[in-house]
Amino acid sequence: MYPLGSLCVFWLLPVALMLEEDSPLDCVPRKSVPFYRDYTHTFSEKGVFNYTTMLLREDLDLLVLGARESIYALDLKNISKKLASVKWEVTQQQKMDCKNKGKSPEMECKNYIRILHKMKDNRMYVCGSNAFDPVCDYMSYADGKLTLEKKAEDGKGKCPFDPFQRYASIMVDNTLYSATSMNFLGSEPVLMRSSSSIIRTEFKSSWLNEPTFVSMAQMPESEKSEDGDDDKVYLFFSETAVECDCYNTLVVSRVARVCKGDLGGQRTLQKRWTSFLKARMDCPVLQSQLPYIIQDTYRWCDPHQSWKNCLFYAIFTPQSDTLQHSAVCAYRVSDISKVFAEGKYKTPVPVETSFVKWVMYSGDVPVPRPGACINNEARKAGITQTLDLPDRTLQFIKDKPLMDQAIQPVGQKPLLVRKGSTFTRIIVDQVQDANGKKHHVMFIGTEEGTVLKAVNYDGEMFIIGEIQLFQPPKAIKILKMSNVTGQLYAGSDDGAAQMPVATCERSSSCMDCVLARDPYCGWDKVAGRCVALSNSKRELIQSVTEGQASLCPAADPVRPMNQSIWPGGNLKLSCPTPSNLAQTSWEMDKGHQVPSAHLQLLQDGLLILNASDRHAGRYRCLSVERSKGVNYTTIVSEYEVRITATGSGKGLTLLPQAQSDGPSKIVLQVSVGLLVVSLLTLLAWNFHKGHLPLPWKCGQKSRGQSQGTREDVGASQRPGPAEDKPLVLGTGNRNNNHNRGEAAFSAAENDVPCVNLPSLQYIDDSEI
Ligand SMILES: *[C@@H]1O[C@H](CO)[C@@H](O)[C@H](O)[C@H]1NC(C)=O
Ligand SMILES: *[C@@H]1O[C@H](CO)[C@@H](O)[C@H](O)[C@H]1NC(C)=O
Ligand SMILES: *[C@@H]1O[C@H](CO)[C@@H](O)[C@H](O)[C@H]1NC(C)=O
Ligand SMILES: *[C@@H]1O[C@H](CO)[C@@H](O)[C@H](O)[C@H]1NC(C)=O
Ligand SMILES: *[C@@H]1O[C@H](CO)[C@@H](O)[C@H](O)[C@H]1NC(C)=O
Ligand SMILES: *[C@@H]1O[C@H](CO)[C@@H](O)[C@H](O)[C@H]1NC(C)=O
């Protein structure tokens, strides 16, 4: 779309080149966790899609989830528990109207719930796209029921017409601020406030130029303000740059802001924002010529500190398809605020008849300052509301809402860069480590259905783990966190899922627990377990910034597993890599090199082919993990291999138990089915004979129901086998028992190449 070899000479280039060349362009997660079976709860309903709007109601212990034509109230502690639901479907007439306008009846002409906000009176404000005719309503939750009031308020400018279009909204003091398109065609983008008198942006390309709205946040800037400033609402979006001096269209990231007290102008900018200012946001990712595009933001504020210390964490993805990096940059609110309060403006100057160039404005700036909120200085001059602002100020802001200076991230560079995954959503949590130091842990949802848990330790990017939350992979479209439950909630087109922010108990050794560098977790020496800091009163071993595991007590010796194999047979010795940052190696009989003939090194084990006597002996798999320049060695597994003449050894055809679940489940289902059928036959016979007085119809209905339920159970189990089918050979070997991992290969040679599965990128970390 935007070829790299564009003629555009982009201003970002010098900045990017200034960065040190050695900063890593990629960061590998220490652990990759396939499906999180034991730790997640999921929710989805048959025939319902697009679970992409969420509202946490911690006051009611609810997660309110908006999907296509449905809204659910789920138990915040276990979202698999549906407490209530309400349907909000389009009428046949609306569907016809929408269809007649050329939209697809089964996809676009439906009601996509897009806005869910809490009102001061505990009700909720809900909007849906409603077959390209957006409407809003009020909803309450009482006596275990969700009820829509059917007020049918106009949703134009609040909620998008087009369910595929991005939008943003926020409820501030019971007033909705929204950023979306106002018309059917999607050609009239606005930032709008829906109070008694609607205030919105101008339809001018210098204000909003084909924008993609991303998110909104409010900032209580009037708090303890010395100059009597007002609270602000910030909007993040990307748009086609008007200021780019180039022939190709170029998209840039923006932050805009308005004042809460803005009432519009008297004559100029009547019912329009007088305080709409915007600036470019840079996230300089090394080697990128084109600016990266903002996708989501998270406002992080310390509740004990002033708003000036708040940060906006933002994720960026490349503009060009050829680059595959995603990045996180953080911005100080005070830096953004300063650019708007003191920075220079950009102004358009006609160069040729049809061409306009945007340059820094260096002329006189009218007073009061264009775009500023009403402050003490303005009040002194008799201007107490925006309606009193002079035309000169208003005309200036109408023509020049763009600031000259771009907003630079903290440290002038990204906090995280990851290759090969596309970031979609971000949440940030502050955690105090065992030394009392505070860290910001980033949870990042991806297009690939995973959640990354990452930290930046004094400039060092570190991804603690990548967790597959949706299986099969489905892009994470919304991500929320509750600091009450300590859970993350994610939504995708196919369902919602919840996972804990930390699962320390997954680390079974001190080495693994400490090298994880997870500020939530520490090793309890007394209990011999990896535990959450918040749940422990004992002193824990933890080393998040240094990543030092030398304080760990020596691990218990590993008991060797006995394996036997007949001459000429094949055997796999399993050794799952405990960490993506570790390297495994094998040694034999205490320091002897492993013979190379007829051995194949796998990513998660060792394969002995065509075994002979010299293959007998003690095999030990070592894992060496390098952390901050120090190598830490652990013994992952040990095997005593014997060559037996009889060939009755167990190293032959052991099926992993996970697979043998399948048949037994089927047997169970078949026998349940047979039981049901025989019961029904018995019942039918009874009805036939008149032994039972119930009408036949009723019996039929209950039979239909029972079958339906049985099918439902079958269907809801379907995700189960997806997990049972290991992503990795030997995924089934949880709980540190090697017996299931030793899945042996007695099969023909053509099995061998298959061992190098692409899925090997996922390791099961439960064994160390
Ligand atoms: C969560 O809720 C589901 C559905 O009610 C239930 O089957 C499951 O056991 C619950 N899990 C926990 C840990 O409570
Ligand atoms: C809704 O979900 C379906 C099924 O996954 C998907 O094909 C469709 O693109 C989604 N629609 C929107 C508007 O995201
Ligand atoms: C949770 O976060 C809210 C703000 O989002 C804050 O007011 C509250 O104190 C936090 N609670 C805990 C237990 O940290
Ligand atoms: C392996 O075999 C030896 C001797 O035959 C026995 O002492 C040991 O307990 C066995 N180990 C396991 C794990 O079964
Ligand atoms: C297996 O090894 C034996 C000797 O150890 C050799 O004679 C035979 O050809 C080998 N078979 C294969 C398939 O490599
Ligand atoms: C650590 O291990 C790596 C290879 O795994 C090796 O290259 C390096 O020299 C080792 N460093 C030390 C200090 O032993």
Q: Are 532 and 538 in contact (CB under 8 A)?
A: no
Q: Which of 141-145, 482-486, 568-572, 703-707 has the lowest mean pLDDT?
A: 703-707
Report d(CA 644, CA 755) in Å as an integer.
25
CA of 204 to the centre of ligand 4 (A): 80
Report d(CA 464, CA 418) in Å as an integer.
13
| 368 cis-preceded (ω within 30 degrees of 0) | yes
CA of 483 to the centre of ligand 3 (A): 6
Q: Measuring from atom 5 of ligand 1, which residue has the nearest CA?
A: 81
**Residues 6+ away with beta carbon under 8 Å from 355:** none
> What b/e sequence results for 157-186 when a residue is b if at least 16 CB atoms lie within 10 Å of its CB, and e otherwise?
bbbbbbbeebbbbbbbeeebbbbbbbeeeb
Q: Say yes or no: CB of residue 147 within 6 Å of ligand 5.
A: no
Could you give the angle at which helices 696-717 and 657-689 cross, rounded to 10 degrees? 180
Q: Which two tokens stand for residue 203?
A: 């339809």
The mean pLDDT value for 568-575 works out to: 90
Q: Say yes or no: CB of residue 567 within 6 Å of ligand 5.
A: no
In DSSP terms, which residues pair with 471 in a beta bridge? Answer: none
**Which of 76, 80, 83, 716 maximizes ligand 1 atoms within 8 Å of its Cβ, making it the mutation to test the pocket?**
80
Residue 744 confidence (pLDDT): 28
- Give the ligand whose atoms come closest to the C-alpha of residue 752: 5
- Which ligand 4 atom is at minimum distance from the Cα of 561? 13
- List ligand 3's pocket residues with C-beta within 6 A: 303, 483
Q: Measuring from atom 12 of ligand 5, which residue has the nearest CA?
A: 610
DSSP for 605-665, please give it.
Answer: EEEE-S--GGG-EEEEEEEEEEETTEEEEEEEEEEEEEE-SS---TTS-PPPHHHHHHHHH
Q: Output the CA–CA distances (angstroms, integers) from residue 321 to 4, 8, 134, 295, in the order listed.
A: 10, 17, 33, 15
Q: Is the pLDDT of residue 694 over 80?
A: no
pLDDT (tens digit, 9 = 90+) per residue, 241-258?
988 777 778 999 999 999
Q: How confident is the model at residue 440 (pLDDT cuts 50, 70, 90)?
A: very high
Q: Which two tokens stand for residue 648?
A: 């009755």
Q: Say yes or no: CB of residue 568 within 6 Å of ligand 5.
A: yes
Q: Say yes or no: CB of residue 633 within 6 Å of ligand 6.
A: no
DSSP tag of 751: G
Percent of the chain with pLDDT over 90: 62
Residue 737 confidence (pLDDT): 32
Q: Measuring from atom 5 of ligand 4, which residue has the nearest CA?
A: 562
Residue 359 confidence (pLDDT): 93
Can you point out the beta strands (E) in 113-161?
113-118, 124-128, 135-142, 145-148, 153-154
Q: Measuring from atom 6 of ligand 6, which residue has the nearest CA?
A: 631
- List ligand 2's pocket residues with C-beta within 6 A: 49-50, 112, 163-164, 493-494
- Give the ligand whose atoms come closest to the C-alpha of residue 484: 3
Q: Say yes or no: CB of residue 631 within 6 Å of ligand 6.
A: yes
Strand order through the sheet with 617-627: 561-565, 630-643, 617-627, 582-588
- Give the ligand whose atoms come closest to the C-alpha of residue 81: 1
Q: Which two tokens stand for residue 520?
A: 């939530």
Please, what's the largest Cα pairwise distance for the chain? 103
Q: How confident is the model at residue 594 (pLDDT cuts 50, 70, 90)?
A: low
Cα angle vertex 318, ends 316, 322, to 5°?
Answer: 155
More confident residue, 496 or 419: 496
Q: What share of the chain is helix, strand, coil (3-state, %, to 5)?
A: 20, 35, 45
- Which ligand 4 atom is at minimum distance from the Cα of 559? 13
Q: How confident is the model at residue 438 (pLDDT cuts 50, 70, 90)?
A: very high
The mean pLDDT value for 693-703 works out to: 33
Which residue has tokens 């089915």?
A: 673
DSSP for 330-367, please give it.
Answer: EEEHHHHHHHHHHPPBEEEEEEETTEEEEEE--SPPPS
Q: Which two tokens stand for residue 199?
A: 């205030």
Which residue has tokens 């490349």?
A: 318
- List ligand 4's pocket residues with C-beta within 6 A: 559, 561-562, 640
Q: Which two tokens stand for residue 14?
A: 């010098």
- Give the ligand whose atoms come closest to the C-alpha of residue 562: 4
pLDDT (tens digit, 9 = 90+) per residue, 262-299?
999 999 999 999 999 999 999 998 767 789 999 999 99
More confident residue, 756 or 387: 387
Q: Are strands 82-87 and 113-118 parallel, antiparallel or unpaired?
A: unpaired
CA of 43 to the centre of ligand 1 (A): 11
The mean pLDDT value for 98-116 works out to: 95
In DSSP terms, which residues pair with 254 in a beta bridge? Answer: 237, 280
Q: Is the pLDDT of residue 562 over 80?
A: yes
CA of 66 to the centre of ligand 2 (A): 13
Report d(CA 223, CA 229) in Å as an integer.
8
Q: Are 522 and 505 in contact (CB under 8 A)?
A: no
Pinpoint the alpha helices (H) of 296-441: 333-342, 376-380, 391-399
Which helix H or strand E contains 333, and what residues bound it? helix 333-342
Q: Is the pLDDT of residue 736 over 60?
A: no
Report d(CA 432, CA 152) in Å as an integer.
46
Q: Are strands 70-75 and 62-66 parallel, antiparallel or unpaired?
A: antiparallel
Amino acid at 5: G
Sign of the four-CA dihedral 315, 51, 77, 721: negative
CA of 631 to the centre of ligand 6 (A): 6
Q: Is the pLDDT of residue 585 over 90?
A: no
Q: Is the pLDDT of residue 591 over 80?
A: no
Q: Measuring from atom 7 of ligand 4, which residue has the nearest CA?
A: 562
Selection from 371, 374, 355, 181 nearest residue 279 by Cα: 371
C-beta atoms surrounding 415 within 10 Å? 20
Q: Say yes or no: CB of residue 420 within 6 Å of ligand 5.
A: no
**Which of 49, 167, 477 maximizes ligand 2 atoms within 8 Å of its Cβ, making it the mutation to test the pocket?**
49
Report d(CA 673, CA 678) in Å as an integer.
9
Residue 232 confidence (pLDDT): 96
- Give the ligand whose atoms come closest to the C-alpha of residue 77: 1
Q: Is the pLDDT of residue 687 over 80?
A: no
pLDDT (tens digit, 9 = 90+) per residue, 339-365?
999 999 999 998 876 778 899 999 999
**Average pLDDT value over all residues in the chain:** 82
**Which of 36, 81, 503 maximizes ligand 1 atoms within 8 Å of its Cβ, making it the mutation to test the pocket?**
81
**Which of 577, 631, 632, 633 maximizes ligand 6 atoms within 8 Å of its Cβ, making it the mutation to test the pocket?**
631
The domains located in the chain, with CATH, are 43-159 (no CATH), 201-420 (2.130.10.10), 436-501 (no CATH), 502-551 (3.30.1680.10), 557-659+723-763 (2.60.40.10)
The mean pLDDT value for 498-514 works out to: 93
CA of 81 to the centre of ligand 1 (A): 7
CA 163 to chain centre: 20
Residue 42 confidence (pLDDT): 95
Q: Is the pLDDT of residue 755 over 90?
A: no
pLDDT (tens digit, 9 = 90+) per residue, 628-650?
889 999 899 999 998 887 544 44
- Give the ligand whose atoms come closest to the C-alpha of residue 581: 6
Q: Measuring from atom 11 of ligand 3, which residue has the nearest CA?
A: 483
Residue 372 confidence (pLDDT): 95
In DSSP terms, which residues pair with 178 in a beta bridge? Answer: 169, 192
- Burial bucket for residue 396 (CB in 10 Å: 0-12, 13-18, 19+): buried
Q: Which of 411-420, 490-499, 609-618 has the lowest mean pLDDT?
A: 609-618
Q: Is the pLDDT of residue 477 over 90?
A: yes
Report d(CA 581, CA 316) in Å as an integer.
25
CA of 164 to the centre of ligand 5 (A): 61
More confident residue, 390 or 612: 390
Selection from 556, 550, 471 nearest residue 509 by Cα: 556
Q: Are strands 416-419 and 325-332 parallel, antiparallel or unpaired?
A: antiparallel
CA of 656 to the centre of ligand 5 (A): 28
Selection from 563, 556, 612 nearest residue 736 by Cα: 556
DSSP tag of 592: B
Residue 595 confidence (pLDDT): 59
Residues in the chain: 768
Q: Say yes or no: CB of residue 78 within 6 Å of ligand 1.
A: yes
pLDDT (tens digit, 9 = 90+) per residue, 660-679?
333 344 444 544 445 544 54
